Amino acid sequence: MELPVVNHKDYVAKIGDDHKFPINKFGELAKYLIDQKIVKNFYNPLACSFETLNRAHSKNYINDIKNKTLDENAIKKIGFPLVDSVVQRSLVATGGTVLASKLALNYGIACNTAGGSHHANYDGGAGYCVFNDVAVAAHYLLDRGLANRILIVDLDVHQGNGNSEIFKDNKHVFTFSMHSKTNYPAKKSISDLDIELQDNLEDDSYIKTLKFYLNELNNENFDFVFYIAGVDIHFNDRLGKLKISDEGIKKRDELVIENFSSKRIPICGVLGGGYNKDFNKLVELHSLLHQSCAKLI
């Protein structure tokens, strides 16, 4: 069977060719997955509905994004221009993670080719994150009784502060973030489990630390996992402060996915951050998530 992977052409928004965020990676990743025969076809998501978004975000914030009436400071905090294609991208990418979570329930494992917008909180966006797709999808599953104890494994180099804030009083969602201590956001929030990593950490220490905490998490009874597989931990990333190699990222992805897949816990993989100085390398690194998942289906 082929790995279920979600993609939509609208994942690539028009933010300007000189923008710091590598928006074209979403389209190029889709091409790469097809060219490398990792997948043959994609599942296409719909734009996320207002009702579904409203479980993780306030009515006012959703309307301000949809109507493009967000104030300038709030737009600046997000880092994207608030144009039609960014609004559409945010709705469709969030719908993509909801769809991928449903596919993971059906097939045991599934991935989006976007997602992991973990800095967005209930009242606003930040750090290139408009809507928090994982938080939205987690609420979607809980509301329908499709999951009861969800784990968010966030291995992006930046703390998943949006998820920890949204779920701080929710006993049905456990937030685990392993991130750079000195990186964005400057003021960290409190996850259920935060592991702060020192600058310039290399593969062996990183994998050893991850293995230890995965073993700790195995003592809990989770029935669904979201995995935010940010590749900004790479040594050549513009916004990372760690020194993880290609092989280290591959090992990390395999470790996480095999850990939960072997226990028959459904897992939904999303991209997370990646700002590599080498664009082609960035696409290749993001594809390691899908390659690791494809081996197990």
Q: What is the pLDDT of residues 183-223, one digit of tens each?
A: 998 889 999 999 999 999 999 999 999 999 999 999 999 99
Contact between residue 45 and residue 8 where contact means Cβ atoms under 8 Å apart: yes
Total Cβ atoms within 10 A of residue 221? 9
Q: What is the pLDDT of residues 115-153, one digit of tens each?
A: 999 999 999 999 999 999 999 999 999 999 999 999 999
pTM for the complete prediction?
0.97
The residues facing 233 across adjacent strands are none
Helix, strand, or coil here: 171? coil
Q: What does the block give as tokens for 192?
A: 């259920």
CA 44 to chain centre: 18
**Statement: residue 16 has pLDDT above 90:** no
**Statement: residue 8 has pLDDT above 90:** yes
Residue 30's Cβ-side half-sphere holds a number of Cα atoms within 13 Å equal to 19
| Residues annotated catalytic, as ranges | 119
> In one letter, which amino acid is 30?
A
27: closest CA among 35, 19, 231, 97?
Answer: 35
For range 169-193, the mean pLDDT:
96
> In one letter, which amino acid is 75?
I
For range 73-81, the mean pLDDT:
97
Residue 81's Cβ-side half-sphere holds a number of Cα atoms within 13 Å equal to 12
Instruction: Please report, in angstroms and rounded to a whole number, the separation of the first and last CA atoms in the chain.
Output: 6
Total Cβ atoms within 10 A of residue 92? 23
